[in-house]
Amino acid sequence: MIVDDEESILKALSGALEDEGYICLLARSGKEALDLFQKERPEVVLLDIWMPDMDGFEVLKRIKDMDSECSVIMISGHATVATAVKAMKMGAADFLEKPLSIESVLMTLRREESGRLSKEVKRGEPLRLTWKESSSGAQVPQKTIKKSAVLYGTGLHSGQKTGLILLPQPPLTGILFYDLAEDVVIPATVDHVASTDFGTSLGKEGVYIRTIEHLLATLHAYGITNLLIKVDREVPVMDGSAIEFCRLIEEVGLEEQEEAVDILKVPKRYEVRNGGRVLIVEPSEELEIEFVLPHPPFNGDSMKFVLKNPEDFKREIAPARTFAFLKDVEKLSKMGLAGGGHLHNVLLLDEEGPVNTALRFSNEPVRHKILDLLGDLYLLNRPLKAKIKATMTGHKENIAFLKRLKEDLGL
């Protein structure tokens, strides 16, 4: 069912969907939509937010009261991230920005169809997925989240209010970022890295998504391989760490899928040097990272971390906050960056140590560097087995290594 008070949208959207084999019901007001829904019980509703007689939020609430399983996709031509987050918290399955592209609508409808099929499978024999072996090596099940999730916050560099909408995806989708304002989908792959300055940014068709690394590190730790992430240009910084992302994933839960994904194993030794920054990667049967920060105020701080399970990540790495030096704050400001950095979400350091807060760990900065590295490594969209020793490295060196590995493995 399509609900919109603009006749042109009803005609264009229904015509395109009928060409794809869908049966469409049309409603031009909230009241008409509720009457039609009660009689016909459609499986999916495309619902405009701003209508004169009854807004889409009220219609959404009443539809979910009648049928909590119905997929309601909200649409709007002048909404904010806050509007999208509100809709998702009220039970909407997704949010689409006008002008609508038929590709985005079809992608959303197909995802909802896949979700219903998955529920049907679950009513039968449960899927029991375990580690597998194939000709290419070890595999693990692909994963997504059980239901949609939302999170609201501020962008570290833009300083603007932003948010996340996480949507389950079928197998073989991968991790995708979707810019709410521009209707552009950007795969979270190393090929789409647009910048490594003060964070990892993805780009496509002139659209950029900033500071993706903390969220990707969380998806890496929890083994999520298929996900659509709707965001307005920048992933929210939250408290500067990844702990809120962990809580969000655990709140909605994980779903193992039938298809498996290959585990990548580093085939040989790699070395990336950039002045005093050195990244050495060697073959291993697990993902082991040793990070060293030799200069003041760190004075040789180091840590070894083996990614074995989400619990270790959540306890040892996720709480570590992003950090910056006081001497760099003015420079970042002049560059138009760090506009969302505040005392509560950035660990500020001088040559003696932290100046604005107590450390969560005695070596919190080095743990945060491991967090960033785990996020960058997931731009391969699959688990990686390697022994990594990093000294003072950052996003630039991480991406340089990934590009060399990708080329060698023919990915």
Q: E-assigned strands of 210-333?
A: 227-231, 254-262, 264-265, 270-274, 277-282, 287-293, 301-306, 323-325
Tokens 């959540």: give the residue.
314
Find out whether 93 and 72 touch, Cβ atoms under 8 Å: yes
What are the residue ranges of helices labelled H in 212-325?
213-222, 243-252, 310-316
Residue showing tokens 């080095």: 366
Residues annotated as catalytic (active site), given as ranges: 395
Q: How far apart are alpha carbons 239 and 249 in whole angstroms?
A: 16
Classify 397 as helix, strand or coil: helix
Q: Given its phi and psi angles, is residue 159 left (phi above 0), alpha (psi -120 to 50 degrees) or beta?
A: left
* Spatial distance between the Cα atoms of 15 and 335, rounded to a whole number of angstroms: 47
